[in-house]
A = this chain, B = another copy of it.
Amino acid sequence: MSEIQITSTMEDYLETILQLNREKGAIRVKNIAKKMGVKMPTVTNMLKTLNEKGLIDYEKHEYLELTRTGQKVGKEIERRHNAIRSFLTEILKLDPVMADEEACKMEHGMSSETLVRLTKFIEFVQSCPRTGASWLNYFEDYCANGIKPEKCEEHMKNFKMNCDSCITDIKQ
């Protein structure tokens, strides 16, 4: 019924406002414009829209605040953004700047189910005794040099040697 229609552009603005809110205290049209890479009149228009949709509280020339709903939406997008960025930088080991840009573009299509699952996956890779940092290093090597059976075997032998202590670690 009373579904507010929120475009992905609006989501981006809310995310930006949330960030600015944390960084500085006061949120200015000028700053939003800069962060979003648009001109100030574009921001003014969008603020009017967001206000009408009940996502921010804004009277022209006055301070701006996210409403409860606006915060919820902004934070949800931020979570997706962070999950994608983490995956790209911490798992795939891609360049952080690029990862951040891509996260911006990919975040909107992502369902909350996928968000949960991806977040858990990152956690799992990093904490599972079978994977963790050493496995990720080997992935990097695999990307750079392709499949090398002898390297793979060497890796497995090293891993096996650490297995006993590893199992003990888990016990604690």
* Pairwise interchain contact A117-B130, C-beta atoms closer than 8 A: no
Q: Which residues of B contact A167 (CB under 8 A)?
A: 153, 156-157, 160
A104 → chain B, closest Cβ, in Å? 7
* Pairwise interchain contact A149-B128, C-beta atoms closer than 8 A: no
Does A33 reach chain B (CB closer than 8 Å)?
A: no
* Additional A-B contacts beyond A153-B171, A160-B167 (20; CB < 8 A): A92-B114, A92-B117, A92-B121, A98-B113, A102-B110, A102-B111, A105-B110, A106-B110, A128-B138, A128-B139, A128-B152, A130-B130, A130-B135, A130-B155, A130-B159, A156-B166, A156-B167, A157-B167, A160-B160, A163-B163
Does A10 reach chain B (CB closer than 8 Å)?
A: no
Does A108 reach chain B (CB closer than 8 Å)?
A: yes
Total interface residues on A, using CB and 8 Å? 45
Residues of chain A at the chain B interface (Cβ within 8 Å): 88, 91-94, 98, 102, 104-106, 108-111, 113-114, 117-118, 120-121, 124, 127-131, 135, 138-139, 142-143, 147, 149, 152-153, 155-157, 159-160, 163, 166-167, 170-171
Q: Beyond A110-B102, A142-B120, is A152–B129 a contact (Cβ under 8 Å)?
A: yes
Determine which of B110, B120, B131 lies in contact with A131 in the assembled complex, contact meaning CB atoms within 8 Å. B131
